[in-house]
Structure 1
C-alpha cells in the first residue's frame, strides 16, 4: 500500500503528539459560558435565490465578541394542513461547514438535502471567504492565517476558539427553532469543515450524527514533525520564522495551540460519527486525523481511501447521504 505516513495498523493505534494544556477542560467550559451569555439576535432575510420546494434565507446571528455570523438557510416547504390546530411538522436539520478560507457555497449545493426534507444551515466562517465578520481585537500579528491568530495574546483570544464557538452557537440556535426536530440535527464538512463538524458535535453534544472528511486543525505538532507545515498549515512555519526563529518557545507554542486542537475535544462527542480519510493526504496528514478519530468514544465509522489525498473521494458524498438517511 502506498504511504506518506504510518501504516494503517499503526494509524489505528496512534494517540497524537501535540500537548494538551493542563486546564483544557476549564478553558472550554469558560468559553461555553461566554457563548451562552451572548444574545444571538437572530435575523432572517429572504434571499433573492428561491426554488419552488424550499424557502431560502440569509440568516445572521451574533457570536462571541460581537461578530455577526452569516448562514445560508434552506427551509423545505412543508405540506401545510388547513387545520391550524395541528402541531407544526418538525424537520431534521443539517449544519454544513466549509473548507479553509472559503465560504458557504452556492444555494444550489444545498438543495439535494432540502429535497430530502432537511432544513440546511451552511455557515460562513468569520473572517474568511463569506459574509461573516471578523471583529479583530487581538495583540500580535494578523499577517498570516487564522491558526496563529491570537497566539501572542491570552489563550481566550485565539481566533479558532471563537470559530469553534460559532459552530456550537449555530447548533444551539437551530436545535431551538420551532420547525426543527431537536433530536435529529446532524453536521458535516470537509477539511476545515470536517474539523468544525467535530468541534460542533463536541461543544454541542445534542448533535445526532456527524460526518467529517479529512479533518483539519488536529495534532499540529505531528504536522510539524512530518515537515508538512506548508499549504494549509503554513501559518505555523511562518510564525516560527518571524517570531521564534530559534524555537526557544516551541513547547509553549504547541501547548497553546493545544487549546484549539480538535483531537483534545472529540471525547466530548455523544452522537454517531463518520470520518473519511485519504491515506495519501499531504495537506492534513493521516496520522493527524487518526489522532482525533482514535479519541472519539461514541459510535464511529471509518471510510479509508488508500490511494487518495486531499481531494474528492469518489462515492463518499453518496455514502454520507445514506449515512444521514439512517437517522
Structure 2
C-alpha cells in the first residue's frame, strides 16, 4: 500500500485555506432549532441481546424534521449512579446492526449509545432509519444527495440526527450529561467532529480517520469512494462545480471542528486511500479545543484498529473532569466512586 498523499512532515505543516460560508453558524443554529421543535419524546425499550454483562435498550430518538432515528443504548449491568457515556457514529454504509455486536464501551464501564445512520445499514431496506427525502444524487452514494442546496443535503439531516441523539442521551437518567464523549470511524469520525462543533459542553471527542473533512481536496485526490462520488458527479455536470462545493462547505467537518472546545484524540493513517491523511489533518489543525493525535504511518483506512481502541481506553481514563465537576470520566463506571 503506497504513500499516495503528502508526507507526515508536510501534513504536520499543512494549514489549508478552506472556503467557509458567511452564514455557517446561522445555518446550523436555525437547522437544529427547527428540528428540536418536532417529534415525540425519546423512547428506550429493553431488549434481550443474549449478553449477561450488558443491558441493552432499543432507542428511538426524534431527529431531523422529527423523524425517528434508531439506536442502541448499552449499559453495564450493576453500574450504580449516572455514567460517563460514549456516543458512537458509524462508518459509511453501516447501520446499527444487531444489539450484541458492539459492546466494547459498555464492557469498559461506560454507557454506550450507537446511532443508526439514516438510509444506511442492512437490516431493512435503507436500514432501521430510512432517509425519507426524495432527493438522490446522479451517482450512487450519499455525498451527492441534495448537493444542489445546503438545505437539501443528506448530511444536513444526518448531522441534525446526531446532535439530537446526543441531547437525548444527556437527558437519560443513567447518563451524566457533563460526561458525554462522541466518537466514530471514517464517516462516524466526521459526524463526531461536526457534533463537537455544534454541541457545547462535551467531555471529549475521538475521531478516527475522519471523513467529510476538506471535502474539495478529498474529491480531487482520493483514490477510493466515497469522495470519488463528487468527482464522478462533476464529471457528468461540468457546470456545477462551485454550486456543489458551496453546498458541501456547509457540511465540511473541518470547518465545524473549528467551533469545538472539548478535548480531542484524533487518529490518522498515512496510507489511507479513502480518507487521505491531508484531509484528516485539515480537521486536526483547525480543531478548536485541546487535541492529541495518534498517527499510523503504514496503515490504510483500517487505521489503528485494536491498537487504537487501547489508546482510546487509556485516553478516556485520563480525561480530566469537566469544569465544575470533581470526578474523572473513568471513575463513573466504578460503583464505589459514583
TM, length-normalised to structure 1: 0.89
1:233 equivalent among 210, 214, 227: 227
For residue 145 of structure 2, what is the aligned residue in structure 1? 149
Distance 1:40-1:18 versus aligned 2 partners, 3 A rule: farther
What is the Cα deviation at residue 319 of structure 1? 0.5
What are the residue-to-residue correspondences of 1:13-28 with 2, within 5 Å?
13-16=13-16, 18-28=18-28
1:294 aligns with 2:285: yes
What is the Cα deviation at residue 141 of structure 1? 3.9
Tell me the matched-pair count.
Answer: 312
Distance 1:40-1:163 versus aligned 2 partners, 3 A rule: farther
On the 8 A contact 2:272/2:299 being kept in 1, the answer is: yes
What is the Cα deviation at residue 60 of structure 1? 0.5
Comparing 30-39 and 204-213, the one that deviates more = 30-39
On the 8 A contact 1:205/1:268 being kept in 2, the answer is: no
What is the Cα deviation at residue 200 of structure 1? 1.6
* Structure 2 counterpart SS, 1:302: strand
Distance 1:155-1:105 versus aligned 2 partners, 3 A rule: same
CA distance in 2, matches of 1:214, 1:141: 25
1:316 aligns with 2:313: no
What is the Cα deviation at residue 48 of structure 1? 3.1
CA distance in 2, matches of 1:185, 1:212: 14
2:198 equivalent among 199, 203, 206: 203
CA distance in 1, matches of 2:34, 2:140: 27
* Structure 1 counterpart SS, 2:286: coil
For residue 259 of structure 1, what is the aligned residue in structure 2? 250
Residue-by-residue CA offset, 1:100-149 (whole Å, 9 max, x unaligned): 001224433443322332111111100000311211144x6465211111
CA distance in 1, matches of 2:107, 2:298: 33
CA distance in 1, matches of 2:302, 2:67: 32
Comparing 217-226 and 92-101, the one that deviates more = 217-226
For residue 278 of structure 1, what is the aligned residue in structure 2? 269
On the 8 A contact 1:217/1:262 being kept in 2, the answer is: yes
For residue 134 of structure 1, what is the aligned residue in structure 2? 131
Structure 2: stretches of 5+ with no match in the other structure: 122-126, 320-338
CA distance in 2, matches of 1:137, 1:216: 24
For residue 8 of structure 1, what is the aligned residue in structure 2? 8
CA distance in 2, matches of 1:92, 1:72: 16
On the 8 A contact 1:229/1:237 being kept in 2, the answer is: no
What is the Cα deviation at residue 23 of structure 1? 1.8
For residue 328 of structure 2, what is the aligned residue in structure 1? none
Residue-by-residue CA offset, 1:135-175 (whole Å, 9 max, x unaligned): 1144x6465211111112x4212110110111110111111
2:84 equivalent among 88, 92, 95: 92
What is the Cα deviation at residue 229 of structure 1? 6.2
CA distance in 1, matches of 2:295, 2:131: 35
1:118 equivalent among 107, 110, 124: 110
What are the residue-to-residue correspondences of 1:208-219 with 2, within 5 Å?
208-219=203-214
On the 8 A contact 1:17/1:221 being kept in 2, the answer is: no
What is the Cα deviation at residue 276 of structure 1? 0.4
* Structure 1 counterpart SS, 2:265: strand
Aligned-residue Cα RMSD (Å) equals: 2.0
